[in-house]
Chains A and B, each alone.
Chain A
């Protein structure tokens, strides 16, 4: 009895009970399809986020107040702050830097006539826009003179423009931020769904104007102005590490911290951000895969169930085959190949269905699903393993049947 003969027998046996074979395969089909599709979605989400982070500028370094790591001194981290003077110190001392920019972010209500919404007001300077690669779709950014003089001008994100003005052109119209009138001079290009900190929801004002007219006492620590973050761009990718070290030195001096004291600020480069995000999305993808794996497991149990029924039904056939000389190994192989055919056929159809689902999701525009060859190979291998694992017991039962009893079975 060779393998191709076993496959022929298996196909014939499965064809004899088409509906049952298809229903049995359905478990594997759904399991494999969901593994392939969910992994593709997870990978797609990872690629999306990575692309967005890289879009921000790969040499970008962000300084934030407090420590990012959760630890015993979380309380003190809360109180930590960055100051405008930190920015000035960085701007003065840093080498290998293409630019430095501070930003102060706060939430405020913005109104235009009867429309109002609460969104993030970003007070910053011209360099910020350049470092983040922001472009205007309409109008312009505030001029240097406007920056210095504290002019009441604003650039709004595309979502804000949509929400406040609908179809109207926002240019040169007056909006009120916390009741203070501002003239819109520009609208940012749409950034797309970033999931976090999208500029589409920003209202950007000159930093000077913000301190004067909007932020009030919250932005002040005595006579010192606070900032929410400071961004820097290293002149090259190779310089990122040395710039990070320089920032650390400068800010420790500014904050009067010893070399061994815990820093009350966090310096995050894009590479670090990417690796953190990579970990998060990796966990997400694994999680989705695990859920899909459970459905594959359930499919495998379905196969085992049907194969046990099938062995019982075909007891007489097994008895006959043994009577004419089939050894235990031959019977074992026969039933094992049958489960393998079920699970591999189901696996193949499932991969097709998974690819189709991924393509459909991509076409719908929600997420660009990325099917990796490894997830397909894994799904296929897993379905084969399910076939062998869940087929082994029924096949073993068949092989153990005593011929004389099997022949008498009715």
Chain B
């Protein structure tokens, strides 16, 4: 599904060159649930941007479902993003003053989908994230967790092959964050959705099947998670506190 070979990304910051990615190889199969970890500046956000076709590598090869992405034009990339990728952001990035339903409908307006089918798809996506009864609420009438669910529904509405999330629990309290992770696990189990998220929280990362760790633009480890945590498992520190 995702096939990245020897990819580099170099930014020119004034006089100095910054190698955000320095020769990375990543292969992710369809239906995997993967966490990307690393300290800030390790290149994990850059990697996610390239995976999501928001940016192109400076060199190297990126095949997404057999299509070579690295030489595509801006509009071709937009097309790939629209059809194959769903994004979830740390800050939700919902359109304010617009209902949950309209937020979810938004990506469909850039596709050829017809009016009635759009509505069905949007409602279906909201049902998947458990917000069937909040369709006509605006973001400021929803809690943070609900807003992130709307954002996930928006990411799902085009039936993307891959769901990409950048620190999806970063702006949420731990209980709500856990609910979001549970939703990702559900989507992964029930619909076989490929999920990749970036996190700096090892506990959140442990809820996936695989953790890729980056440092200085290189992959330092890429290991399966032997026993993924079930959502709702108390944090180790909380466990420790509870034992007292």
Contact = CB atoms under 8 A, between A and B. Distances in A.
Contact of A324 (B75, B97, B98, B107): B107
B141 interface: no
A375 to B, nearest CB: 39
B222 interface: no
A323 B75 contact: no
Given A317-B95, A407-B93, A323 B110 contact: no
Nearest to B76: A327
Contacts of B154: 324
A327 B78 contact: yes
Contacts, number: 58
Contacts of A329: 75
B98 A323 contact: no
B63 interface: no
Nearest to A330: B110
A324 B84 CA distance: 10
Contacts of A317: 95
A323 B75 CA distance: 11
B54 to A, nearest CB: 4
Contacts of B62: none
A316 B75 CA distance: 18
A133 to B, nearest CB: 69
Nearest to B78: A327
A113 interface: no
Contacts of B89: 407
A130 B114 CA distance: 79
Interface in A315-350: 316-317, 320-330
Contacts of B106: 321, 324
Contacts of B120: none
Contacts of A324: 81-82, 87, 106-107, 110, 154, 158
A238 interface: no
B81 A323 contact: yes
Contact of B93 (A5, A316, A325): A316
Interface of B is mostly: helix
Contacts of A327: 74-75, 78-79, 110
Contacts of B54: 323, 403-404, 407
Interface in B117-164: 154, 158
Given A316-B93, A324-B154, A404 B109 contact: no
B216 interface: no
Contacts of A402: 55
B156 to A, nearest CB: 11
B110 A404 contact: no
A12 B79 contact: no
Interface string A394-410: 00000000111001000
Contacts of A323: 52, 54, 81, 87
Given A404-B49, A407-B93, A328 B75 contact: yes
B95 A326 contact: no
Contacts of B109: 1, 5
Contacts of B81: 322-325, 403
B188 to A, nearest CB: 21
Nearest to A410: B91
Interface string B78-115: 11011100010100010101100000001101110000
Given A322-B78, A323-B81, A324-B82, A1 B110 contact: yes
A113 B29 CA distance: 115
Contacts of B55: 402, 404
Contacts of B95: 317, 320
Contacts of B107: 324-325
Contacts of B98: 12
A268 B58 CA distance: 82
Nearest to A316: B93
A326 B106 CA distance: 10
A337 to B, nearest CB: 13
Nearest to B111: A325
Contacts of A407: 54, 89, 93
A322 B49 CA distance: 13
Interface in B30-68: 49, 52, 54-55
Interface in A291-326: 316-317, 320-326
A328 to B, nearest CB: 6
Interface string A158-177: 00000000000000000000
The 6 closest A-B pairs by CB, nearest first: A325-B82, A324-B107, A325-B110, A404-B54, A327-B78, A327-B75
28 contacts: A1-B109, A1-B110, A5-B109, A16-B97, A317-B95, A320-B93, A320-B95, A321-B110, A323-B52, A323-B87, A324-B81, A324-B106, A324-B110, A324-B154, A324-B158, A325-B79, A325-B158, A326-B78, A326-B110, A327-B110, A328-B75, A328-B78, A329-B75, A403-B78, A404-B55, A407-B54, A407-B89, A407-B93
Interface of B: 49, 52, 54-55, 74-75, 78-79, 81-83, 87, 89, 93, 95, 97-98, 106-107, 109-111, 154, 158
